[in-house]
Amino acid sequence: MGAEKDHIIWYRLRGLGLLCLCSLLFFVGAYIGNQKSITASSTVNGRKLPIYCVKTEEKKVALTFDAAWGNDDTEKILDILDRNSVKATFFMTGGWVNKYPKDVKKIAEKGHDLGNHSQNHKNMSQLSKEEILQEIRPVKEQVKALTGIDMKLFRAPYGDYDNELIETVVSDGYLPIQWDVDSEDWKDYGVESIIQKVTEHPHLGNGSIILMHNGAKYTAQALETVICRLKEKGYRLVTVSELVYRDNYHMDVEGRQIKNN
């Protein structure tokens, strides 16, 4: 009887041990799962950052165009992109969308990325949360009505942002996008200046986001050479949506988006 009792006690202790082990494994798994469910962190040293570029081993970069004024060269730009089998990203203001709805549709039909550039191209760091939402929501509605596309990318006019802007656009379903290579085409320095600024830029590298403007004076003339030289350097040109991570990432001090392990 004593031996049988000892066996019962041993089995109960073993069962209790297995229960404790299972519980421990459950809580460890839940902790790890919770860590993985943290979708993103854009905060570095207390400051919230937009995505300037992306850390990737692939030789790919994103070509982007801000569309806030002018439209003389949009068709030329689209033809050049088509001819070179390149998809780009267009960040459009509400004013531009209202003025050139056919071109918005054409950009979407050709498979390019569509991004929100605010309604009125204001310095948005100077706006309240309510005013920020008033700047971004009408553009989204206009573009969806024209194309059926829900825009998920936002670029602040002038590259002007603060913590509240980043928090607000992220809470409204956007990834805030900046750039690390500026063509400076908006300065109208000429074709060669644009080519040199992009293709020889010190920050150009895997995951770069390149800023251009569809309404700048020399952009269309420089574009084909820019594309060719980037390809000669081994880069594949992709949309911002293809380049960035949607979740499970963090940022470094340079605004580089890094995938969590």
The residues annotated with a catalytic role in the active site are 66, 213
Q: Where are the alpha helices (DSSP H) in the chain?
A: 2-37, 74-83, 94-99, 101-109, 129-147, 163-171, 191-199, 219-232, 240-243
Cβ atoms of 259 and 245 within 8 Å: the answer is: yes
Comparing C-alpha atoms, which of 213, 221, 222 is closest to residue 68?
213
Say which DSSP state 235 is in: P
- Whole-angstrom distance, CA of residue 167 vs CA of residue 41: 11
Say which DSSP state 168 is in: H
Residue 221 tokens, joined = 């003339």
